Amino acid sequence: MKKKDNNSDDFQVCPIDYGFKRIGGKYKARILWYLKKDTVLRYGELSRALPDITTKMLTQTLKELENDKLVHREMFYQVPPRVDYSLTCTGEELIPFIDHVREWSLREMEKEKDLLAVGSR
């Protein structure tokens, strides 16, 4: 198997890979989704929206999303500090597709539940 030699970037990047790298990762899609629902969320609100995330991962993921221009970050220099997060236009373009997965998943989870119910009686 040919390994990509990194001193030449003339190899083709698959767009599917590219996309999944930008929204993959354990929490990225969920964060984007919560942001679309409420438009603007503070750090603490996001933290409460995703109860299973650690501060490390939340900070890190938000930073990645910001560098990727998918979320916008606004700091207010106050005491106590305040930081707002919201979607960029590019980030919003991803919402319909996250919605699609979500709907699909809900249907699939229903199917699983039904199957389980039938099996146990």
Contacting residues toward its own copies, per CB under 8 A = 1-2, 4, 13-20, 22-24, 26, 29-30, 33, 51-54, 90, 93-94, 96-98, 100-102, 104-106, 108-109
Shortest Å, Cβ 36 to its own copies = 12
The DSSP bridge pattern shows strands 82-87 and 40-42 to be antiparallel
Q: Which does 48 bind (CB under 5 to 8 A by kind): its own copies, DNA, none?
A: none
Chain-centroid distance of CA 41 in Å reads 14
Q: Which does 115 bind (CB under 5 to 8 A by kind): DNA, its own copies, none?
A: none
List, as own/partner pairs, every contact residues 99-103 make where C-beta atoms lie below 8 angstroms and the sequence separation is at least 24, other chains included. Answer: 99/33, 101/29, 102/33
Q: Which does 97 bind (CB under 5 to 8 A by kind): DNA, its own copies, none?
A: its own copies
Q: Which does 121 bind (CB under 5 to 8 A by kind): its own copies, DNA, none?
A: none
Q: What does the chain come to in residues?
A: 121
Residues whose CB is less than 8 angstroms from the CB of residue 42 and which lie 6 or more positions away in sequence, other chains included: 82, 83, 84, 85
Compute how many other C-beta atoms are within 10 angstroms of the C-beta atom of residue 36.
17
Restricted to residues 31-90, the positions that interact with DNA (CB under 7 A) are 42-45, 52-57, 59, 62-63, 75, 80-83
Residue 82 or 113 with smaller CB distance to DNA = 82
